[in-house]
Structures are given as C-alpha cells and as structure tokens.
Amino acid sequence: MASPDRAADDLTALRRAGVVAVLRAPSAAAALGATEALLAGGVTGIEITYSTPDAAAVIAEVRRRHGEAVYLGAGTVLTAAHAHESVEAGAEFLVSPGTRPGLAEAMLATGVTVLSGALTPSEVMGALDAGVHVVKLFPASLGGPAFLKALRGPFPDVPFVPTGGVNAGNLAEWLAAGAVAVGAGGELCSATAMATGDWATITTSAAEFAAAAQTAREPA
C-alpha cells in the first residue's frame, strides 16, 4: 500500500500525464490490449474502471508489464474493497464518479491520490469537505469548458479533471479553462474498437490526444 505522502507526488504525475484514458473494457484481455495501444500512441495515464471484468487483476498485470512508465489508476471505485484491492494491485490513483464521505475516507486511507466526482458548486464543496485531492468534473459535457472556467471563480485553487465530452479538438479549451488534466473515455478509446481489437484506431486516437495536450502546454 502506498504511503500517505505519496499523494503529493502523484498530483505532479497527474499533471505530467495530462490525459487519462478511462477504460470501460468488455473483458480483461481487451483492457490489456487497449492499454498497449494507448501507450503506443503516447497516452500514459490509464484508468481501469471497475466496470471492466477482473479490474484489479488487470491493474496488477499492467503494472507488471510497464512499471513506472504508466500512470495507473482505478476508476468507478464504489466501495472500500475496490479502493484497497486496486491499490494493492498497483493503482496510483483512485476515481469515484461521485462523492460520499465514507467512501472518500476509505479511498484517502490508502494513501494514493483521490479524485472524486462533482458537478455543481455544492457538490464541489462537498468533495472538498471530504478532503479529496482532485475534483473530477463529471459529466463535464453538460457544461463544457465555459462551465469549468466559471467554477474556477469561487474555486481558484481546486484541481479539476473534467471527464465526459473531452476530445482532441477541445482538449486545449479544457486546459485553458483551468483543468490540471482531462479524462477521456469513448472519445479516446471506443467500445467498438476494444470489442473488435482495433488497436490501430486506438493508437491513432491516443497520438491525436497526446499531440493536442503537448501543443496546448507549449509556451505561446
């Protein structure tokens, strides 16, 4: 299990990754294939969700194969058991779609970086009260970059990671609005591509996301 002081380092790693691929794979094998394709395209942030079969085993295998070359986490964390087993498997961050104080406490107890879902100002305040490190703005597609920019008014120091509706074309807008990183699911790694083993398409998409993130962060 990670030590409590690991979280600060992991927030730096999150910023460095820039893009986190949210994998909702139909099988463990598809998750592993998609991970290889994403890394080949330059996306190093990988979130294995608990909607993926054998999620903890997938996390362990990705960690075994790639070590520190991947910024690896668990998503759709809904129970304390999810949190603990995924960290034991090698997860460096945990993501919950929403915020519940008891679950947040269990996630924080693992010592890794915790991203907890919120959308409205009141929900953001609830996530902050729970002590999470990063607010996952979800579903971000409902408000777009302008909504994130508005939230940054009352919450200028809160690290936000918008997820949902992020694509290579608008990624720069999200970062300009104040996101520390973005989460991307089907727009980056489609269910069809995973189901059919179309790894080339996923690698191409990953390269587009990685290039967009790099360009967005280059000095003007």
**Whether residue 136 lies in the annotated active site:** yes
Structure tokens at 176: 């300009």
The catalytic position among 47, 61, 85, 187 is 47
Q: What is the DSSP string of 69-135?
A: GSEEEEES--SHHHHHHHHHHT-SEEEESS--HHHHHHHHHTTSEEEEEE-SHHHHHHHHHHT-SEE
The CA radius of gyration of the chain, in Å to the nearest whole number, is 16
The secondary structure of residue 163, as a DSSP letter, is B
What lies within 8 Å, CB to CB, of 69 at 6+ separation is: 39, 44
The catalytic position among 92, 136, 187, 208 is 136
Positions annotated as catalytic residues are: 47, 136
